[in-house]
Structure 1
Amino acid sequence: MPGMPSIRFVKLSPAALHALVAGDLATAGAEAGVAMSRYLADERWLWEIRLQDIAKDPEAADWIARAAVDEDTGTVVGHGGFHGPPDADGIVEVAYSVDPAHRRRGYARAMLTALLERADADPRVTAVRASIRPDNVGSKATIAGFGFFKIGEQWDPEDGLEDVYLRSKRTTSGR
């Protein structure tokens, strides 16, 4: 997309996640090979969940917990990934967040684009799911135009009521 920033995802190892939980940005950055932001350390609750996910299923580490880095500046602008590997139906749930200091610059769309490309490239993935609070206008705008359709609602213990969206996998043939 024209004007969209270029981002890359940097995998966060369990050691980097433990350092983020401890608020140790220097160690987390050394483990990840990129300077970590205070925003990532402030997401301690998420990293604790992701560490539990990896402990239960080591394959989860390849799907979750990535720092989003602006390619031009090398700055961590947020994080993104999936809730875990594909489920029994081949569905992955997308998750991303932009540091408030970097919002409204196209990073969310750039992250979503990269995550959808990752999902579409994996033969096990059949669809991508997104769960968004009904009042989250920004997230709804971010997924617009990517082929997501509302399929229902769910209750999330962290976020409350969420609308659930699904996007079928895109293949290289354009389907």
Structure 2
Amino acid sequence: MQKSTDDIITPRLILRLMNKEMISNFLKNDLEGATLLLKAKIPVEMFDHPGSLRYGLKQFEDSDYLPWSARAIILVDEDQMIGLVRFHSKPNPEYLKEYATNAVELGYRIIKDYRKKGYATEAATAIMDWANINFGVENFIASVSPGNKDSLKLISSLGFEKIGEVMDDIDGLEYVFLRNIIKHL
């Protein structure tokens, strides 16, 4: 079994764990420092939306959070970071218990030039499989804005089913989706 901090490898991608130091470099807009730590080229566009990394940095207050941190999505053929995939917390946080037990919330972002090529599907599938195999997580939650048609299409293709709606303080109305990995084996 692989260590929980190892790279997750797919046919086209490397999902490289971003530790506290790496995320701090991103948040300081330190492209050179972040590139050295990531060991891959980072497009400037990755620095445009730091909100999820700011949230993730706060999660490091819990010493057990590291394996659940953001992972850089690196395109193997280009040695280029093309996005992020992450969990919002460790499994079974209090805020998800109204939807499912043994659950974790998934988030992802692919930069513009690499969208609609299946990379988000590949990364999301790999990270959910990793969480299931290494930690026994069976339920995955995704929250998506009703206006984000591409993301709605993605999670539908992955077998997520709408189970509710929530008003997010930052993002406004979001649909809440659940995927039980056992149902999709």
Q: Which amino acid counterpart does residue 57 of structure 2 have in structure 1? A: L
2:70 — aligned with what?
A: 65
Q: Which amino acid counterpart does residue 32 of structure 2 have in structure 1? A: A
Pair 1:7-2:13 in alignment: yes
Name the CA distance, whole Å, in 1 between partners of 2:11 and 2:112: 16
Seen in structure 2, the aligned counterparts of structure 1 residues 69 and 135 have a Cα distance that, compared at 3 Å, is same
Higher mean C-alpha displacement, 151-160 vs 80-89: 80-89
1:162 — aligned with what?
A: 174
- After TM superposition, give the deviation of residue 115 of structure 1 in Å: 1.8
Q: Which runs of 5+ in 1 are unaligned?
A: none
- Match of residue 90, structure 1, among 85, 102, 114: 102
Misfit runs of 4+, over 3 Å: none
Pair 1:106-2:111 in alignment: no
TM-score between both structures, scaled by the size of structure 1: 0.88
- After TM superposition, give the deviation of residue 36 of structure 1 in Å: 2.1
Q: Deviations over 1:118-167 (max 9, x none)?
A: 22213441300111111111011111232211111011112110111101
Confirm or deny: 8 A CA contact 2:19 2:69 kept in the other structure: no
- After TM superposition, give the deviation of residue 104 of structure 1 in Å: 1.7
SS at match of 1:170: helix
- After TM superposition, give the deviation of residue 60 of structure 1 in Å: 1.8
TM-score between both structures, scaled by the size of structure 2: 0.83
Q: Which amino acid counterpart does residue 63 of structure 2 have in structure 1? A: P
2:43 — aligned with what?
A: 37
SS at match of 1:131: strand
SS at match of 2:143: strand
SS at match of 2:77: coil
- After TM superposition, give the deviation of residue 40 of structure 1 in Å: 2.2
Name the CA distance, whole Å, in 2 between partners of 1:54 and 1:157: 22
SS at match of 1:113: helix
Name the CA distance, whole Å, in 2 between partners of 1:67 and 1:16: 10
Cα RMSD for the two superposed structures:
1.9
Confirm or deny: 8 A CA contact 1:19 1:28 kept in the other structure: yes
Aligned length: 169
Confirm or deny: 8 A CA contact 2:121 2:158 kept in the other structure: no
**Percent identity of equivalent pairs:** 28
1:78 — aligned with what?
A: 83
Q: Which amino acid counterpart does residue 159 of structure 2 have in structure 1? A: G
- After TM superposition, give the deviation of residue 5 of structure 1 in Å: 6.7
